[in-house]
């Protein structure tokens, strides 16, 4: 059964030793971030900060390890990719409810005070306290299709927020459409503390006409319960801990940033639109949530990796069905580096796959294709394949003038985000098509002579020790 809400997920983490309580005073100004970083560095537990200077407990680190992600998905490492892919293959529409836990407390208009929330400052040079785990629910102004996605919100003062919405992300696209229509405002909702499948749905790469609540339903195996907002025409998760209903004012701006972002660098501050809260609703005794950002690997990288990999794999397989595995590692921010294992069906297919990946919305800067015997999640194996299965003059592709990746610090930051361009590197580290290579006694690929290929090289047999992974070696056990 899927988790019904954030609290059920916290209970599951606690029962497995993956959640602890800290009852001593911990400051929101950098101290919470230090504690979260320390725990994450050893794949440690999530933490509930009970005494944080506000009346709401703050929980951080719930997505800081692969082990917690597997608990959220309800399966082990061997099954998780198939589980996600199967979930992405079905759509379960949400259901609308009249009464919802998130409306147990409703604060409206001038009674809202954002400074009562436990919002941390994560990095020393951050422009202010940031709500980083929030999920924006917005609707396409033209089609009405809803989207959910993670976006950063800075608390400017008790009644003012500002945010960053990149132009290639759906929330940014919705705002751009509203501006193009001549609208002066745009309304959306910021949701904190949800069933983990909603959080893992946010990063999934799907077409713009996709109802993300249907995707989340497919991943959950059950419909998401939604409730109508109190002040805006929008539906939000009924069992969320907090919802901030807000209005974006295009006629006013405020300085937002910097923030230590997922790239490991601060993004410079700049003038951004103002978001005014219209309603703040929350459950009784709610949990607020923290999510650490910064140099990989932090919580936001783990949160998006599995979902990114599975959705990217599913998309690529529609054209290249022999792609077996994909890695989009945290070292590249789960964006800028993609590794694919495939068995090419004809000469040049690996290059085709590289170019298709470069043109995807992931916007990678480096794309590497290897043979299926390489573990794409093991950087050492990937580097070995590059070193001994590729020749730079023959197997490297560089493409310039591509749309820049999100928040890439190497791009020209004097330009608006939608005008920034960059380049991408592709490496074909597969055997030349038609080459016979023996791995653990089995032939890999069709015979060279059969396809009349011409290749000068010495690929014959991979020198490895068969059965070493299964060897019973009790003395080595910790």
Helix, strand, coil in percent for the chain, rounding step 5: 30, 30, 45
Query: 């069992």: which residue's tokens?
Result: 239
Q: Tokens at residue 24, please?
A: 């001593």
- C-alpha 34/C-alpha 30 separation (Å) is 6
- C-alpha 231/C-alpha 189 separation (Å) is 10
pLDDT at 403: 86
- C-alpha 134/C-alpha 290 separation (Å) is 9
Fold of 299-462: UbiD C-terminal domain-like (3.40.1670)
Whether the link from the prior residue into 297 is cis, omega within 30° of 0, is yes
CA 77 to chain centre: 18
Q: Tokens at residue 213, please?
A: 């609540």
Angle subtended at Cα 62 by Cα 60 and Cα 63, rounded to the nearest 5 degrees: 120
The most confident of 57-71, 251-265, 274-288, by mean pLDDT: 274-288
- C-alpha 168/C-alpha 413 separation (Å) is 16
For the chain, the structural domain boundaries read 6-290, 299-462
pLDDT at 82 over 50: yes
pLDDT at 465: 60
Q: What confidence tens digit (pLDDT) does each residue in 331-356 have?
A: 888 788 999 999 999 999 999 999 99
The band of 446, judged by pLDDT with boundaries at 50, 70 and 90, is very low
pLDDT at 447 over 70: no
pLDDT at 444: 47
pTM (predicted TM-score): 0.80
Q: What confidence tens digit (pLDDT) does each residue in 122-137 have?
A: 888 889 999 999 999 9
- C-alpha 234/C-alpha 245 separation (Å) is 9
- CATH superfamily, domain 6-290, is Electron Transport, Fmn-binding Protein; Chain A (2.30.110.10)
Residue 192 phi, psi (nearest 5): -130, 130
CA 392, 393, 394, 396 torsion: positive or negative? positive
Average pLDDT, the chain: 88
Tell me how far CA of residue 348 lies from CA of 353, 376, 383, 449, in angstroms: 9, 20, 21, 18
pLDDT at 380: 92
Q: What confidence tens digit (pLDDT) does each residue in 148-182 have?
A: 999 999 999 999 999 998 877 889 999 999 999 99
Q: What confidence tens digit (pLDDT) does each residue in 413-442 have?
A: 788 777 888 899 999 999 887 776 655 444
The band of 475, judged by pLDDT with boundaries at 50, 70 and 90, is low
Region of poorest pLDDT, from 125-129, 214-218, 359-363: 359-363
Residue 277 phi, psi (nearest 5): -70, 135
Q: What confidence tens digit (pLDDT) does each residue in 366-398 have?
A: 999 999 999 998 999 999 999 999 999 999 999
Query: 């080459």: which residue's tokens?
Result: 435
Mean pLDDT of 231-235: 96
Q: What confidence tens digit (pLDDT) does each residue in 274-292 have?
A: 999 999 999 999 999 999 8
């Amino acid at each position: 059964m899927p988790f019904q809400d954030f609290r059920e997920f916290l209970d599951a983490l606690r029962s497995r030793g993956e959640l602890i309580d800290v009852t001593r005073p911990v400051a929101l100004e950098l101290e919470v971030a230090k504690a979260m970083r320390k725990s994450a560095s050893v794949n440690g537990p999530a933490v509930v900060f009970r005494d944080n200077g506000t009346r709401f407990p703050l929980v951080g680190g719930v997505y800081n390890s692969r082990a917690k992600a597997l608990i959220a998905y309800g399966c082990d490492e061997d099954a998780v990719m198939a589980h996600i892919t199967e979930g992405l293959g079905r759509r379960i529409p949400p259901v609308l409810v009249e009464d919802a836990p998130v409306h147990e407390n409703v604060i409206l208009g001038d009674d809202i005070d954002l400074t009562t929330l436990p919002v941390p400052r994560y990095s020393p040079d951050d422009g202010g306290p940031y709500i980083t785990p929030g999920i924006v629910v917005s609707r396409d102004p033209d089609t009405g299709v809803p989207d959910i996605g993670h976006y950063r919100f800075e608390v400017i003062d008790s009644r003012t927020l500002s945010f960053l919405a990149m132009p290639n992300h759906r929330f940014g696209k919705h705002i751009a459409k509203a501006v193009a229509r001549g609208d002066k405002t745009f309304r959306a909702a910021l949701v904190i503390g949800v069933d983990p499948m909603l959080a893992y749905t946010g990063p999934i790469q799907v077409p713009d006409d996709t109802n993300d609540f249907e995707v989340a339903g497919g991943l959950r195996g059950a419909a998401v319960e939604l409730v109508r907002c109190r002040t805006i025409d929008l539906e939000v998760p009924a069992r969320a801990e907090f919802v901030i209903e807000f209005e974006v004012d295009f006629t006013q701006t405020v300085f937002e940033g910097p923030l230590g972002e997922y790239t490991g660098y601060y993004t410079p501050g700049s003038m951004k639109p103002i978001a005014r809260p219209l309603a703040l609703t929350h459950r009784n005794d709610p949990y607020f949530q923290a999510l650490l950002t910064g140099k990989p690997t932090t919580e936001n990288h783990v949160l998006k990796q599995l979902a990114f990999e599975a959705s990217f794999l599913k998309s690529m397989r529609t054209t290249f069905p022999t792609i077996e595995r994909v890695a989009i590692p945290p070292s590249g921010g789960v964006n800028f580096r993609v590794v694919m294992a495939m068995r090419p069906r004809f000469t040049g297919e690996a290059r085709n796959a590289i170019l298709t990946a470069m043109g995807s919305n992931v916007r990678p800067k480096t794309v590497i294709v290897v043979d299926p015997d390489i573990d794409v999640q093991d950087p050492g194996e990937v580097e070995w394949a590059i070193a001994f299965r590729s020749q730079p003059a023959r197997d490297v592709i560089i493409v310039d003038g591509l749309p820049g990746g999100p928040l890439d610090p190497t791009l020209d930051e004097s330009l608006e985000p939608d005008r920034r361009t960059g380049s991408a590197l592709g490496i074909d580290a597969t055997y030349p098509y038609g080459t016979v290579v023996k791995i653990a006694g089995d032939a890999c690929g069709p015979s060279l002579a059969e396809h009349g290929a011409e290749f000068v090289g010495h690929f014959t047999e991979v020198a490895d020790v068969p059965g070493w992974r299964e060897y019973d070696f009790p003395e080595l056990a910790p």
